[in-house]
Structure 1
Amino acid sequence: MKLLFILLGLILLIIGWFYLDFTLGYRKHLKIVRKLETPILQGNFDIFPHGKKLFADYFDELKNAKQHIHVLFYIVKNDPISQEFFEILKGKAREGVEVRLLLDRIGSFSVKKKTVASLREAGVYFAFSNRIKLPYLFYSSQVRNHRKITVIDGEIGYLGGFNVGMEYIDEDPKLSPWRDYHLKITGESVSYLQQEFFVDWQEYGEKVPDVTKYCRMLPKGMVRQQFVPTEAGQLEARHLNLIKMANKSIMIGTPYFIPSKKIFHELILAARRGIEITIIVPFTADHILVQEASYRYLRRLLREGGKVYQFKNGFYHAKTIIIDDRLCDIGTANFDKRSLFLNKEINCYFYDEEFVARFKEVFVKDIHDSRPLTLSDLNHPNLFRSVKEVIAGSISYFL
C-alpha cells in the first residue's frame, strides 16, 4: 500500500510539473511572439497535388540553382529520397552555391549526426530549429516548426504540405498515393517568402549580417495573395475571421479535424445561418487517435447539415480552406489544435477568384475520390472506438 501511495504521488507530481511547465512556457511565448504578415502581393503559382511530380520539379530547380538555396522543412527522413535530397544540396554547396538547411529538431529526428556532419563538411549551413531547452522542457518539446519553405536564387519559392520522405512520393504501401497541396511560386511574392525564411533562420542558425542582399525586386505576378506566418495561438483568430466572412460556402481539407472550441462554435453558427459546409478528411489515418479525436466534431456538423467526405484514393494530407469561391487558404497548417496553438505555421491566402476557381477543381476532384461519411457510420456501436474517442478527447491538444 505504501508503494502504491508513492507511485500515485510521483504520477501527480509529474502531471503537476507538466501542467506548470506548459502553462509558464506558453505565457512566455505569448509575450515574445510577434505578429508578422506580408502586404497583399502579386505572384504566379503552380499547384502540385502529387509528390512524384513535385519532387521531380523541385530537384530539377535545386540542381539549376546558381547563387543560393534556402530550405526549411518539418520532416526529412533517413531514406533514399532524403539521401538524394542531401546529395543535391551537398553538390550545390561544393559548386559554390550558398546552401542553408533548417530542419525541425523533433520532426527530423531521424537525420543522423553523421549526415549533419557530411552536410557541413560539404559547405552546407545547417541548423535544427525548435530544440528542446530549459527551463520549459515539456512546452518546448511540443512547439514544432511545421513550416515548409524553399527559396532558390531569390526567384523561385516552394510552400505547402509535403515533407521529404518515401511516403510523400507514394512509396509507403499503407499511405499511397499521398495527396497534398504544394505551391511553386514566382514573381514578387518570392522576395517576401525569402524574408520569412530568414526570420526562422536568424533565430536558430548562424546570424546573417545583411538579409536584404538576398531579396530581389521581382516583377508582379498575376495572382493577389498574402503570406501569414503564425504561432502561439495566432492562427485561431485568422480562421475565425475566415468563417465569419462566409456568405455561401466553407470548404475545408485537412488530415486532422480537431478545431478549437471557438472555431467549432463559429462553424456551427455558420451552418445554422445556411452556409454550406464541406469537409474532406482521410479514410486511412497516419497517426493513432487522430480520427477518433475528430468524430465528436464531425457528428455535430453532420447533424447541422454539414457534408463530410473521407478520401479513399490514398492518404489525404492536404490543408486548405475555401470561402465562397472567392478566397482560399493553402499552407502548412492543419485544422487542429496543434497547428492552432503550438506549431509554427505559414499559410498563403489567395484573393484572386480565377486562382480560387482553378484550385477548386483540384478540391472537387478529391471529393470525387472520397466517400460520404454519415451519422450511421459514426453512431454504429463500437466499444473499442468509443474508448479511443474518450482517450483522444482528453489529449486532443497534443495530437
Structure 2
Amino acid sequence: MIFLSLLLICFALWVTIDLSYGRKLHLKRIKPRSFPLRQSNFKLYTYGTALYDDLFTDIKEAQHHIHVLFFIVKNDKVSHEFLQLLIDKAKQGVQVRLLLDRIGSHQLPKGVIRSLQKHGVSFSFCHKFKFPFLFFSANQRNHRKITIIDGKSGYIGGFNIGEEYLGHNPELGLWRDYHLRLTGEGVQDLQTQFLHDWHDDTNEDLLEEAIFFPKQPSGPILHRFIPTDGAYLQETFVALIESAKEELYIGTPYFIPGKIVMDALLQAKKRGVRITILVPKKADHPLVREAKLPYCRKLMKAGCNIYEFQQGFFHAKIIMVDDHTCDIGTANVDMRSLYINHEINCLLYNQDFIKEIKVQISKDIGGSTLLTWKDVSSLSFIDRGKEWVGTLLAFFL
C-alpha cells in the first residue's frame, strides 16, 4: 500500500513537472499570429451531408493539389470513401498531402496508411511525442480542420470525417456543426497555415512555392483567420466579449472557459449585454457536461441564458457579437482549446452573411431548452462527484 501511494505521488509529480516545464518551453518558442484582413466568398454548412457532397466534389475536380488537415478521420464507410478519393486523385498525378492528428485519428489502421502512401498520397501524423516532456507533447493536439484544393477553394470548421458527423451514431443522433467553404483571397492564408503545419511535421518546406498560391479575386465578405498554437486564443475571445455592446452569443460543445474568459463574460453582463450560451445536452466525452456546471451557475446567477441543444449533438464553435462580428472555427470555449490545442478561427465582418448565420442560430435555439436553476444545482451524489472530478481534470477534457 505504501509503495502504491509513493508510486502515485511520483507519477503526479512527474505529470506536474512535465506539463509545467513543457508548456513554458513551448510558450518561449511561439508568438501571437494572425493573417491580414481578406475578402472572400463564403458558404455555411450546418449538416455533414451537404458539406461532404461539396467537399468530395471539389476533391474529384482537383487538377494540381489537395491539402487536407483533419483532427479525426474515422475507420468507417464514409472515411474509406474519402480516403479512396484521395488515392484516386494521387493516381491521376494530383499532389495529395494528408495531415492527421495522431491521437484524434488513432483508429486509422496502419494498413490503410500504407495503402495511401503506396498509391502516392503524402501522409503524416501531427505532433510526434517528444522527449523529455512526453506528457505535454502527447496532450498537444492539432485540432485544426483545413482543406485547400488547387489553391482556389478552402474549407474550415468543426466537422471531421466519419459516419457520426452524418448523424449515423445512434447514441448522439443528428450532428449539428458549423463549417465554411471559401473562395477568394483568404484561401492563401489557409494554404499558408497548412504548409506551416506540414513543415513542422515533415520538414518539407513548400511555403515559397508559388504554384500553391495562385492569385485569387477578392470577394464580398471581409474576414481574418487567426491561428493559435496552445496560446493567445484567450486574448481573441476576451477581445470579442469586451467588444459586445448589446448582445453576445456563444455556441460550443465544451464550455469550460476558465477564470479570465469567465470574468470577461460577467463584466459584459454587468455592462448590460444580453448573453446567450448554447451547449449540447448529450456529451460525446466523459465529464465535460459536469465540468461546465460551476460556470453555468455563476452565469445564470448573473442573468445569462444557457440553453441545451435537444435534437442530437451540438458541435458548432461560434461566437456572435452584436451584428458586426462572427467567429467560426475549430476552437471550443474550453481550457484544452485555450491552452493546449492548435486551432484556427475565422472572424467574419459582413452583416449580410452574419444575418444568414443568425437564421441558423435561431434554429439551434429553437431546438434547445433553457436551463433552469434546478437543472444545474439539484444534482445526485454521483453527479456531484462527476462535477468534482470534471473540475479537477478540466485542463485535459
- TM-score under structure 1 length normalisation: 0.98
SS in 2 for 1:208: coil
Do 1:198 and 1:211's aligned partners in 2 also have CA atoms closer than 8 Å?
no
Matched, 1:252 2:216: no
Hey, what's the Cα distance between the residues in 1 that align with 2:209 and 2:34?
17
Look up the match of 2:264: 266
Q: What residue identity is the alignment partner of 1:91?
A: D
SS in 2 for 1:329: strand
Pick one of 85, 89, 94 that aligns with 1:92: 89
SS in 2 for 1:27: helix
Pick one of 178, 187, 191 that aligns with 1:194: 191
Alignment of 1:164-313 (within 5 A): 164-209=161-206, 210-313=208-311
Hey, what's the Cα distance between the residues in 1 that align with 2:83 and 2:322?
42
Deviation at 1:39, TM superposition (A): 0.7
Cα RMSD (Å): 0.9
Gaps of 5+ in 1: none
Hey, what's the Cα distance between the residues in 1 that align with 2:209 and 2:318?
31
Deviation at 1:66, TM superposition (A): 0.8
Q: Residues 52-89 of structure 1: CA distance to partner in whole angstroms, max 9, x if unpaired?
A: 11101111111111110000000001111111111000
Q: Residues 76-129 of structure 1: CA distance to partner in whole angstroms, max 9, x if unpaired?
A: 011111111110000000000000000001110111111111001110110000
How many corresponding residue pairs?
396
SS in 1 for 2:320: strand
Q: Residues 230-271 of structure 1: CA distance to partner in whole angstroms, max 9, x if unpaired?
A: 022210011111111110111000000000211101111111
Hey, what's the Cα distance between the residues in 2 that align with 1:196 and 1:211?
14
Look up the match of 2:341: 343
SS in 2 for 1:157: strand
Gaps of 5+ in 2: none
Q: Residues 24-64 of structure 1: CA distance to partner in whole angstroms, max 9, x if unpaired?
A: 11011101113221111000000000001110111111111
Look up the match of 2:9: 12
Pick one of 382, 388, 391 that aligns with 2:389: 391
Q: What residue identity is the alignment partner of 1:145?
A: N
SS in 2 for 1:366: helix
Q: Which moved more, 1:10-19 or 1:348-357?
A: 348-357
Q: What residue identity is the alignment partner of 2:302?
A: E
Look up the match of 1:57: 54
Deviation at 1:211, TM superposition (A): 3.1
Pick one of 114, 120, 128 that aligns with 1:131: 128
Q: Which moved more, 1:37-46 or 1:349-358?
A: 349-358
Do 1:195 and 1:211's aligned partners in 2 also have CA atoms closer than 8 Å?
no
Look up the match of 2:378: 380
Do 1:33 and 1:232's aligned partners in 2 also have CA atoms closer than 8 Å?
no
Do 2:230 and 2:337's aligned partners in 1 also have CA atoms closer than 8 Å?
no
Q: Which moved more, 1:154-163 or 1:212-221?
A: 212-221
Pick one of 96, 105, 122 that aligns with 1:108: 105
Deviation at 1:323, TM superposition (A): 0.5
Deviation at 1:206, TM superposition (A): 4.9
Q: What residue identity is the alignment partner of 2:165?
A: Y
SS in 1 for 2:328: strand
Do 1:228 and 1:348's aligned partners in 2 also have CA atoms closer than 8 Å?
yes
Hey, what's the Cα distance between the residues in 1 that align with 2:69 and 2:109?
17
Q: What residue identity is the alignment partner of 2:236?
A: R
Do 1:26 and 1:139's aligned partners in 2 also have CA atoms closer than 8 Å?
yes
Q: What residue identity is the alignment partner of 1:98?
A: Q
Hey, what's the Cα distance between the residues in 2 that align with 1:235 and 1:35?
9
Hey, what's the Cα distance between the residues in 1 that align with 2:39 and 2:75?
37
SS in 2 for 1:183: strand
Q: Which moved more, 1:301-310 or 1:372-381?
A: 372-381
Hey, what's the Cα distance between the residues in 1 that align with 2:202 and 2:367?
42
Hey, what's the Cα distance between the residues in 2 that align with 1:347 and 1:273?
26
Do 1:41 and 1:224's aligned partners in 2 also have CA atoms closer than 8 Å?
yes
SS in 2 for 1:219: coil
Pick one of 12, 26, 29 that aligns with 1:29: 26
Look up the match of 2:119: 122
Matched, 1:321 2:300: no
Hey, what's the Cα distance between the residues in 2 that align with 1:381 and 1:23?
34
Deviation at 1:191, TM superposition (A): 1.4
Hey, what's the Cα distance between the residues in 2 that align with 1:290 and 1:339?
13
Q: What residue identity is the alignment partner of 1:234?
A: Y
Hey, what's the Cα distance between the residues in 1 that align with 2:378 and 2:201?
49
Deviation at 1:372, TM superposition (A): 0.6
Hey, what's the Cα distance between the residues in 2 that align with 1:10 and 1:74?
34
Q: Residues 174-217 of structure 1: CA distance to partner in whole angstroms, max 9, x if unpaired?
A: 11210000000001111121111111001112513533320111
Look up the match of 1:150: 147
Matched, 1:69 2:66: yes
- TM-score under structure 2 length normalisation: 0.98
